[in-house]
Amino acid sequence: MSTFTGLFGVDSPSPFITNPKQLPLILTDLLALKTNNTVPSLSATGGFFTSLALRGAAGAITVADTYATLCDLTGSGFLCNVVCPTHTTAHTTTIRVTVDGVPYTFTVASVTAAYRLLLGCFTNTASYNAADATGSDFTGPNSYKDRGFNAPTIGGVPVITSGSVTQPSIMTPEQVLSSQLPVLRFESGLKVEVKVSLLSATTIDKQCGVTYRLDL
C-alpha cells in the first residue's frame, strides 16, 4: 500500500482498491466497447474479445465448471475489468482473482441465460450511433440512456439489460486510469480465472476476457 503526505501533512491510504470485492459487479446481456471513435463492438461477436485482448487478455472456457486462466501476471499494475463467459440456459458463474497471492472468489448462481458477469467499472450506457450529436462518447450517470434504479438483482448483483442501441460499455485501462475510475491495484502478481457451471455449445458464449495494465 502506497502512502503519501497529503495536504494536511498526514499519511493517507492508497487511492486504489486492493480487494476486488470492492469493485463494481453487474450482470448484463450485452456489453460494448469501442474499436474506433464511432465504431462499437458487442460481446455477441468475436471481435469484441479480439479488441479487448489488445488491452489485456482474452480466452475461453473449455470444460464445464472448470477454471480457465485468463491471465497470470508477475509484477505490478492495475486490473480494470473481467468479462465472464455465459450459457444459453441459467447457470452459475465464478470468478477467482488472486491478488498478490491472496485469492478472492465471486460466485453468482442462477444467472439468466445469455447474461455475463462483469467485474470492474463501466459506463452507464454508450451511444454509438454515428448520427447522434454526441457521437460515440460514453454517457454519464442519469443520462437519458441510463437504466437507473430499475435494474433488478440476481444474488445481490444488479442486472442491466441492454437496449436497442445502448449497452453497458467498458473502457480502455488508460481511460479508466485517466478518469480515476475504480481499479484494482496489485503489487507482485495477479491471476484471473473464470468458470461457468455449464459449457455452452456456442463459441462466443465460452469466450471471456480481462483488461489490465502493467506498470510501465
Partner 1 sequence: MQINNITNPGITPVDGDQIEIIYDNGSIERKQYTSPIEPSVSTPSIDPCEFLIDIGTFYDRFGTAKLPVLISTDSTVKAIIQDLNIRKWVDMSRPDVAQGVNYIASVVPEVTSSLKTSILTTPVSIEENRALRKLYFS
| Positions that interact with partner 1 (CB under 8 A) | 36-39, 50-51, 53-54, 56-59, 69-77, 129-133, 165, 214-216
User: Least CB distance from residue 58 to partner 1, whole Å?
Assistant: 6
Give the span between the Cα atoms of 176 and 59, in whole angstroms: 22
Q: Which is nearer to partner 1, 65 or 72 (CB)?
A: 72
CB of 83 to partner 1, least distance (A): 14
State in angstroms the smallest separation of the CB of 49 from partner 1: 8
Nearer Cβ to partner 1 (72/174) = 72
H or E element at residue 174: helix 173-178
Cell 499494475 found at: 77
Residue 177: CB minimum distance to partner 1, A? 17
For the bound state, the minimum distance from the C-beta of residue 163 to partner 1, rounded and expressed in Å, comes to 11
* Contact criterion met (CB below 8 Å) for 71 and 191: yes
Pick the closer one to partner 1 by CB: 69 or 89: 69
Q: Is 116 or 191 the residue whose CB approaches partner 1 more closely?
A: 191
SS3 161: coil
- Can you tell me whether residue 148 is helix, strand or coil? helix
CB 167 within 8 A of CB 32: yes
Contacts (Cβ under 8 Å, ≥6 apart) of 147: 124, 125, 160, 161, 163
Nearer to partner 1, 47 or 158 (CB): 47
Q: What whole-number distance in Å separates Cα of residue 36 and Cα of residue 40?
A: 7
CA distance 158 to 151: 6
Nearer to partner 1, 22 or 202 (CB): 202
Residue 89: CB minimum distance to partner 1, A = 26
* Nearest CA-CA partner of 47 in 63, 61, 31, 27: 31
